[in-house]
Structure 1
């Protein structure tokens, strides 16, 4: 079987185990069905996810010009505390920013390698947790806009990490933690503006990933440096494909790369 298309992050749905789908323009693949099979990945060219031109990808699937101009790549995306739509202030496109920022957001705890705090839109749960490779997660607050979520995250990350150790996550070097207890301990640090939105009764969400075998040592595949790779797929976690020889491939990190994928 042969497929060709531009990479975007895998779509997911949560069942007993997470189901992963690689979506191309004219086709899609249920990646779970490829576990145990030999895959070859051949990098063909770049294609910016915004302008569609064959220009080198700079970041997040966008070429340099698009990344520095489109509202989807504004600083508030990575740093929610910089959001200003609630003040009616424009960054790059106020109407877009209002749609994205002025909707319910959640500050959460996720355990991928160790406990971390993060922010996402309510509509992106549990997708965000799956993308981070979290085997358990819990909400802390649900607030009406991105700014309130951002300042809450900033306050809490003085007491708990906001980073994932992706190597530990991919080797499954993780522990089960009592996230509800950690949430309760962090409650005192929530900014006053967000305290009324504290979620005291939400339960942990547990997530199981489709992995036949976790790698013991990891080597990353960068298609910009190594344009061809072949190996046996042993698992999928977060947005990573895990191969038998310890190679891991970050699909989301290669958004905007046009590839040929063959299943043997």
Structure 2
């Protein structure tokens, strides 16, 4: 059965329609809309899809009003009952070490589960620790040890937030259009390079901590709408995954649809 996954972030809604609720399933269709255009999601994206989803799972951080507007289109268009992910103490091969597990953002939880599945796929018998990095409006850097325990992570401003803060709080500085340089010699390059180094530095420090914590080289996985701004950084030997949150959602959907083992 075809299955719909949805990630409602701070600025955009991303969706993917898969042939079945399982990691590695064929992607039948996908798209994204900015939240300002959320009311046109059905008319512009979903109305003419060849395959009607038989189920869905989504994560949302944008707030209750946005979620309700999406739910209305799912129900009115397909008669599809919305299912939204909530973080839990354990799911998808991950033990949630957050101080209050239910307060962990559902998008982070899905990305962490997706990253853990990548580690298990790399070496099922002895998976490496993994650092899951999502680069969007905000940047999250989350660590999972080799046993599947989520140790914790960072949240820091994304590129846009950093540059807008500089522009609004510093006279004469504008959002940069420059290039990343080792030693910038103009203001635009200096701003672009500073933002990149700030985020890359946080990731490097987290990698180092995870390496010390686990005594093994971690697997670094990066995803998100602005990940291309970091994928060129030589000090970050990352696997760039286009839809890490979707992979986590599909893992959870597959687990939910698997019948219990017979005694």
TM surpasses 0.5 = no
From the two aligned structures, give the one with the greater helix fraction: 2
More strand by share: 1
Give the number of the structure with larger relative contact order, counting CA–CA contacts within 8 Å between residues 6 or more apart.
1
The TM-score with structure 1 as length reference comes to 0.30
After TM superposition, the score normalised by the length of structure 2 is 0.31
